Structure 1
């Protein structure tokens, strides 16, 4: 099992020193990665099904944030949970992701993309909310095409994006492709993960039967696409209070990574929660520290 930590934007606000302190402490504790969330813009009444989001929540741009974190850390992998893919042009995104990966020497490796659940956010970005799934599918294909293309350029003519003989440099660090995980809580998201993703990051308020069905669907979709279902990583959210027994139960359901949420409000208490979790699961030892 791998353990990552999520940066609690609602608690921590926009203090850059607090962000750096949080990331460095997570690295010292032995967490694999730091995940950040994404919203481009909110509005009064924005509700994604689990409750209304206060419109003043200060969501940093996730890629700018991860670049900042990379400069302040040495080993921590960089993750999004999730990046709203339909609202970003893949040609620009390919450049930004490869840049972060190159400058961090290969740490932009836990990109998770999702569709977004707020119609007002889609409207503000000029995206038809009903087509965002197809748009995301095509964007994933475009990202991989651009990263893998050489100096002769690549062509693409799709429903949403089109170009000829396009070259995208720099490439990601020591590779021509970054992993792309798919996040969501629907069967469509699970199938997308199997068809196109390197992993499924399951969210939502679902029972274990539905979760088991979805990860099984993802693996079946991978087989249909001629991909290795065993290579599909399975990520879930988890509380900082998780016990060894509870983590063992998640592992029995095939989970390979847990992204931990802290619950404390102050920086000192958050650090204490991370330290206690790391000690409970011997993270510093298992990470080689």
Structure 2
């Protein structure tokens, strides 16, 4: 089992020193990865499920934040949980991701993308909310095409994105395939993970039967696409105080990574929570 930790600026703060201290302590504790979420813009009345998001919540840009973290750390992998893929142009995003990966020497390896659930956020960036799934599918294909393309250039002719003879350098560090994990809480997200993703990171308050059904969908979709279903990583959220029995139960479901988050508001207490978790699961071993 791999263990990641998230840093959510609305709850953990946007102080640069605090972000660095959190990331460095997570790295020193042995956490594999650090995840940062995204919202581009909020507005009064924006809700996720039954929860209303206060419009003044301060979300930092996740890739800029992870670049900042990468400069202050040495080993910890960089992840998004989730980046709202339909709201980014994939040609620009491919460049930004490759840049972070190169400058971090190959640590931008846990990109998790989702569709977004706020119609007003989609309107703000000029995206038709009803097309965001199809835009995301094309965006994944575009980014992988650009990363793999050579000096002769590559072309793409889709509904949302089109170009001819395009070259994009530098490539990601030591590879032409940055992993792309799919986040979401729907069967459509699970199918997307199987068809195009390197992993699935389901969220939401899903019951055990629905979670199992979604992973079956993801693996079946992978087979349908001629991909290895066993190669799909399966990431789940967990609590910072979870027990060994809870981790074993998730492992029995095929989970390969658990992402937790410090719940305390004071930095000293956050570090205590991380240290206790690391000791409980012998992360440095």
- TM-score where L is the length of structure 2: 0.99
Q: Deviations over 1:68-123 (max 9, x none)?
A: 00000000000000000000000000100000000100000000000000000000
Partner of 1:275: 275
Alpha-carbon shift at residue 14 of structure 1 (Å) = 1.3
Partner of 1:83: 83
What are the equivalent positions in structure 2 for 1:1-289 lying under 5 Å apart? 1-285=1-285
Task: Output the CA distance in 1 between the equivalents of 2:29 and 2:261.
Answer: 15
Question: Matched residue of 1:66: which SS?
Answer: helix
Question: Matched residue of 2:122: which SS?
Answer: helix
Question: Matched residue of 1:112: which SS?
Answer: strand
Question: Matched residue of 2:51: which SS?
Answer: coil
Extract structure 1 runs of 4+ deviating beyond 3 A.
none
Question: Matched residue of 1:45: which SS?
Answer: coil
Task: Output the CA distance in 1 between the equivalents of 2:208 and 2:266.
Answer: 32
Task: Output the CA distance in 1 between the equivalents of 2:12 and 2:275.
Answer: 18
Task: Output the CA distance in 1 between the equivalents of 2:211 and 2:70.
Answer: 33
* Structure 1 residues 241 and 50, CA gap change in structure 2 (3 angstroms): farther
Provide structure 2 residue ranges, at least 5 long, that are not aligned to the other structure.
none
Provide structure 1 residue ranges, at least 5 long, that are not aligned to the other structure.
none
Contact preservation (8 Å) 1:37, 1:82 = yes
Task: Output the CA distance in 2 between the equivalents of 1:280 and 1:7.
Answer: 21
Task: Output the CA distance in 2 between the equivalents of 1:119 and 1:165.
Answer: 34
Task: Output the CA distance in 2 between the equivalents of 1:38 and 1:105.
Answer: 23
CA RMSD of aligned residues (A): 0.6
Alpha-carbon shift at residue 50 of structure 1 (Å) = 4.2
Question: Matched residue of 2:194: which SS?
Answer: helix
Contact preservation (8 Å) 1:8, 1:262 = no
Task: Output the CA distance in 2 between the equivalents of 1:268 and 1:30.
Answer: 18
Contact preservation (8 Å) 1:46, 1:52 = yes
- TM-score where L is the length of structure 1: 0.98
